[in-house]
Chains A and B, each alone.
Chain A
Amino acid sequence: MPQIFLGTAQRKSPNRSLTGIFRIENHDQALSIWRDSGCVNRVLIHVDAHHDMWWVAPGQVVTIANYISPALRDGLLREIYWVVPDRSWESADNRRQILHHLYRIREQYPGPRHPVEIRRDRISTMLLGKPLHICALDGLPKFGEDVLLDLDVDYMIIPRVRYGADDPRPSLPWIWPEELLSRLQAREVQSDIVTIAYSVHGGYTPLRWKYFGNELESRVGGADPGVLRGMRLMREGAEAAVRGESSAAELKFIEAAECLPSLGAPSWQLAYLYLDAQRLSEARQMYLRSLDLDPSYRTPFNSDALSSFWEHRWRAAESECRRTLELDPGDAFAHLVLGWLALEQSKWGTAESEARRAVEIRPDSLDAQRALGEALQKLGRGQEAVAAYERSLKLALTGQESLHECPAIAVEGPRLNDWRHFDVYLRLGELFLSLGELDRAGQYLCMAVAAGLDGVLPRFRLASLAFRQRRWKAVAWELMQMAKQSLVGTGPIMWTLWRKIRRPFRGAYELWLVR
C-alpha cells in the first residue's frame, strides 16, 4: 500500500533543501516555500476553492490570488492540477463557473492561447506552454512521483467554485479533513512538500474552522491518537451544535479541550455555544481563554462581519459585529465595521463615534483613521478630517496594512497594494482646496493623479486650483487633460456594455460546452 505522504525525511534529488509539511496563514507563502526548497519542474496539486493563478508580470505584487503564476513562469512547475470542490463538478451551471474562470485566466497569460479541452472528469488547457487541468478529487490521475500538494482549508468549507463572490459559508464543512485525506490517499497521492493554508485572513475560512489546518497537519504527519481523538470530538461537537443538541455539543467540546490543551479551537466553539445559550459570562471566559491559547484568534476576521460587509449584506454584518462585541466590548474591528456600515448608510454621527472608538482601541489601525477622516469630512470638520487622513497615510508608510488589501508578500519587491491609499490623497486635495490651502491641495492632487487615480474629477480640481492661482497655462493644460480623460473614460463604459451584450450568448455557449 503506497504511503500518502512520504515527506518529512525524504530527500530524493540534490536540489531539494527543504521538505515537509508547512502550515501557513496566507496561501502566497507557499511560493517562498517552493522557492526555498529548490523546486524545479514539479507537478502541483492545488486543492482549493480558488485557483490563485491570475497572471502576474515580473515586478508586480504577488498575492494570494496569483502566487501560482510566478511559480509557473519561473519553471518551478511543469503541470498543475486544480482540484475543485465536488459540487463544482455536479451540474452544468457549476462547471460553467469554472470554465468562466479558465477563460479569464487564459486571457491574461501571455503567449498563444491554447484550446480548452473539456472531458467528463476534467477540463484542461495550457498556460505558458504547460498543462493546467481542473478536476474534482476523484478525477485526479495516479502519479508515479512526489508532487507538491497545496491544500487550502477553505476548500473544505466552500462547496463550489463561483465566478464572483463565494456562496455564504454553510454551518458545516462539505468535507472533513479526514475524508479529504482518505480520498487523496485513494488516488495514491504522494508528496514531499505539503503546504496547508489557513486562509482566515481575507475571510475565506471562518475562524471556527481554522483548526482544520492543524488537523490536516496532524493526520499527514502521524499525530498521537489523543490528538486525533480530540479532532474527532471537535467534529462531533460541531455536528451536535448544528442539530441543536447544545448539551451534547458542550460535552464534546469540553472533552476535546482536554485532548487538545494547547489549541484555542475548543474554547472558541464553546464561547459561541454559550453566547447562543445566553450564558454570557461563561462565553466571555471561554472567548478570552481561546485568545490566550492562540493569540492569532484576535483577528479582524474573527467573525463573518467583514465578509458580509464586503458582500453588502449589511444586516448580517451588523449582527456579527454585535455578537463579537458581546464577547469582547473592546474589539476594535467590530467597531470599525459598524463605523463603515454607518458611513454606507450616511449616518455620519454614528460613523464618527464608532470609528473614534476603534481608533481609541487600535490607534495603529489605518482603516479606522480613514473611516474617522471620512466621517469628519462628511460632518464638515475639515481640519479634524485632514488630521485623521494624514495619520492614516503615515500608518501606511510605517507598514500598517489596510483590511481592504489582498494579502500579499513582497516576493518581487515592496509595493503598496491598496488603491484606497491614494484615494485619501484625492480627498485631502479636495479638503485643502476647500480650506484654501492651495499649495498643499496641488501636492496631494498631483500625488493621487501620479498614483493612477487620474480622471475627469481630479483634473477638474487641478484646473480649478490653477485658475485660483492664476496660472493660465496650467489651466489650459489641465482642461486638455480633462478632455482626454473623458475620452479615456468612455473606453471602460463601452467595454462593460459589450460584455453585457455578449453575456447571455457566452453563457449559453459555455453551458453547451460543459453540458
Chain B
Amino acid sequence: MMNSNISDHSVVVATRDQVSCDLAGEAAILNIKSGVYYGLDPIGAQIWKLTQEPRRVAQIQNAITSEYEVDPNRCAQDVVALLEKLLAEGLIELKNGTTA
C-alpha cells in the first residue's frame, strides 16, 4: 500500500478513547476525546468488532473474504482504507512496531 501506515502485517486494536455499540447489525461509535460520533454499515461494523482485540490486518481481511463474495485484493484495499480512516480519527491504534 502506498502512503499507508497500515500493512497486512500491522496489528490493530480499538483505542480506549471510544465507546461503541451494536445497532442492529450496524455500529455507532463515540470518540470520547473529540466528541465526534460515527456510524458504520454492517461490513464496517464487522471490521470494527474484529478490532476490539488486537488482530493482524490480514486476519481481518481473511474474516471478511470468508464471509462475503468479494475479490480478495479489493477486500484488502477496502479494509485497509477503512482502518486508515479509523486510525486517523483516533478510534484504533497500531500495536508497537507494526507500522508498515
Contact = CB atoms under 8 A, between A and B. Distances in A.
Q: Are A and B interaction partners?
A: yes
Interface in A201-254: none
A390 to B, nearest CB: 5
Nearest to A391: B24
B19 A446 contact: yes
A394 B26 contact: yes
B52 to A, nearest CB: 11
B22 interface: yes
Prevailing SS type, chain B contact patch: strand
B21 interface: yes
Interface string A430-451: 0000000000100110110011
B2 interface: no
Nearest to B29: A447
Interface residues of B, number: 15
Contact of B28 (A387, A440, A447): A447
Given A414-B36, A415-B36, A416-B37, A450 B30 contact: yes
A393 interface: yes
Contacts of A397: 23, 26, 28, 37-39
A426 B39 CA distance: 18
Contacts of B97: none
A490 interface: no
Interface string B12-55: 00000001111110101010100111110000000000000000
Contacts of A451: 30, 37
Contacts of B30: 447, 450-451
Contacts of A440: 21-22
Contacts of B38: 397
A443 B22 contact: yes
Interface in A428-481: 440, 443-444, 446-447, 450-451
B23 A394 contact: yes
B39 to A, nearest CB: 3
B35 to A, nearest CB: 7
Given A397-B39, A398-B39, A447-B30, A390 B24 contact: yes
| A397, A425, A444, A446: residue with the most chain B Cβ atoms closer than 10 Å | A397
Contacts of B21: 425, 440, 443-444, 446-447
A443 B39 contact: no
A401 B60 CA distance: 34
A397 B32 CA distance: 17
Contacts of A447: 19-21, 28, 30
B31 to A, nearest CB: 9
Contacts of A450: 19, 30, 32
A446 B19 CA distance: 7
| B23, B26, B36: residue with the most chain A Cβ atoms closer than 10 Å | B23
B21 to A, nearest CB: 4
A423 to B, nearest CB: 14
Contacts of B26: 394, 397
Contacts of A443: 19-22
A416 B30 CA distance: 11
A425 B37 CA distance: 13
A247 to B, nearest CB: 56
A413 B34 CA distance: 11
B48 to A, nearest CB: 12
A200 B26 CA distance: 35
A394 B19 contact: no
Contacts of A413: 36
Interface string B61-94: 0000000000000000000000000000000000
Nearest to B17: A450
Contact of A393 (B19, B20, B28): B28
Contacts of B22: 440, 443
Contact of A415 (B19, B28, B35): B35
A415 B35 CA distance: 8
Contact of A394 (B20, B24, B36, B37): B24
B26 to A, nearest CB: 6
A450 B24 CA distance: 20
| B19, B20, B24: residue with the most chain A Cβ atoms closer than 10 Å | B19
Contacts of B39: 394, 397-398
A242 B39 CA distance: 50
A414 B30 CA distance: 13
6 contacts: A390-B24, A393-B28, A394-B39, A397-B26, A397-B38, A450-B32
Closest 9 CB pairs of A and B: A397-B39, A443-B21, A450-B19, A390-B24, A446-B19, A416-B37, A447-B21, A447-B19, A450-B32
Given A447-B30, A451-B30, 16 more contacts: A387-B24, A393-B23, A393-B28, A394-B23, A394-B24, A397-B26, A397-B37, A398-B39, A415-B37, A416-B37, A440-B22, A443-B20, A444-B21, A447-B20, A447-B28, A451-B37
